[in-house]
Amino acid sequence: MNKIDKEIIDLIKKANYSIEENSALCLINTKFIGFHKKDTKTIVLCTNNAKKIGNFSNKRFAKNNDNLKTKIYLRRALRHEATHMAQACNSDNLTGMIKNINRKINNSKMKALNSSVKISGNLLKEVEAYVMEDRPKKVKKAIEKYCL
């Protein structure tokens, strides 16, 4: 994790949330890398799933970039689920950190978006979370504004 993602983790903990790794939820489907469990104030990161999707290598002499995809997937999952946390802190409403959010969803994320909506049932909250994945400063600001 980079500096801002470590700051997001610290804010998550400061907001009395916990972070779990590879819980039973991760077994639902290997394409899921994270979950927000509002009822138990938990963010779940499925590192094993991220490794499978990102073709993680345990090779002793792997280059730093060999596992770059896995790192990106985990950072995005953290930010995505942290956005859902901020939404929960905002009385289950959008954070509103990004204007004209419907125009900002990346086409490459549409398949993942559709899968997430099947679980959460809320299209707009998922769109916001997918857009915020690439905007860690906005995620941090949302947590500070709504959860602390």
Domain ranges of the chain: 3-142
The backbone region for 96, taken as left when phi is positive above 0, alpha when psi lies in -120 to 50, beta otherwise, is: left
Mean pLDDT of 138-144: 98
pLDDT of residue 64: 57
pLDDT surpasses 80 at 95: yes
Mean pLDDT of 88-102: 90
Mean pLDDT of 19-33: 95
Q: Who wins on pLDDT, 10 or 71?
A: 10
From CA 99, how far away is CA 112, in angstroms rounded? 22
Q: Tell me: the pLDDT tens digits for 39-92?
A: 999 999 999 999 999 888 776 555 556 578 889 999 999 999 999 999 999 999
SS3 of 21, please? strand
Contacts of 69 (CB under 8 A, 6+ apart): 53, 54, 55
Mean of all residue pLDDT scores within the chain = 89
From CA 22, how far away is CA 20, in angstroms rounded? 7
pLDDT of residue 79: 98
Mean pLDDT of 126-136: 91
Distance of alpha carbon 55 from the chain centroid: 19
pLDDT of residue 33: 95
11-24 in b/e burial notation, b at 16+ Cβ within 10 A?
bbeebebeebeeee
Amino acid in the structure at residue 6:
K
